[in-house]
Amino acid sequence: MTEHPQHPPSVLTYTSTHDFDTTIARLKAVLERAGAVVFADVDQRDAAALAGLELRRTRLLMFGNPKAGTPVMAANPHAALELPLRLVVWEDEEGRVQVDYRDVAQTLGPLYGIAPDLLVPLQRVAELLRATVQ
């Protein structure tokens, strides 16, 4: 992992060994193979351009598996603020592709009181993402 500006400890940053577009394609493919649905792919650079602003290449993917997320939201409706899961792919100043993922398995238990057994499927996501980009 590379050092970047401040972020919460639950945000994991992985440096991809692939170019930007390949990283996005690999992430989408592995998520779908793992049973997740990619609900949205937001090009935040394009959105910035619409407002007349510039932003480095930045894409937000919203994804999840209803079999994993539904029991969490049923246990605590407020936990829906953390779901679906999100990751951001962005280019740093040196042109390296970074992947940020907020590991909700670290926050749903202590912040929302979600039972550990409900978090097991979500705990696998961070390693899946790391292995996909390296």
C-alpha dihedral over 9, 60, 16, 127, to 10 degrees?
50
Domain annotation covers residue 78: yes
pLDDT of residue 6: 85
In 3D space, the residue among 52, 125, 47, 134 whose CA is nearest the CA of residue 82 turns out to be 125
Q: In this structure, are residues 59 and 89 in contact, taking their beta carbons and an 8 Å threshold?
A: yes
Give me the CATH number covering residue 118: 3.30.310.70
Domain annotation covers residue 3: no
Total domains in the fold of the chain: 1
Average pLDDT score over the chain: 95
Domain annotation covers residue 52: yes
- Can you tell me the mean pLDDT for 24-43? 97
d(CA 110, CA 108): 6
Read off the pTM.
Answer: 0.91
Please state, for a pLDDT cut of 90, what percent of the chain lies above it. Answer: 93
Domain annotation covers residue 73: yes
Place of tokens 């779908």: 32
Please state, for a pLDDT cut of 70, what percent of the chain lies above it. Answer: 97
pLDDT of residue 1: 45
Over residues 46-69, the pLDDT tens digits come to 999 999 999 999 999 999 999 999
Decide if pLDDT at 4 tops 90.
Answer: no
d(CA 9, CA 57): 24
Domain annotation covers residue 5: no
Q: Write out the DSSP string of the chain.
A: ----S---TTEEEEE-SS-HHHHHHHHHHHHHHTT-EEEEEEEHHHHHHHTT----SEEEEEEE-HHHHHHHHHH-GGGGGT-SEEEEEEE-TTS-EEEEEE-GGGTHHHHH---HHHHHHHHTHHHHHHHHH-
- Can you tell me the mean pLDDT for 88-93? 96
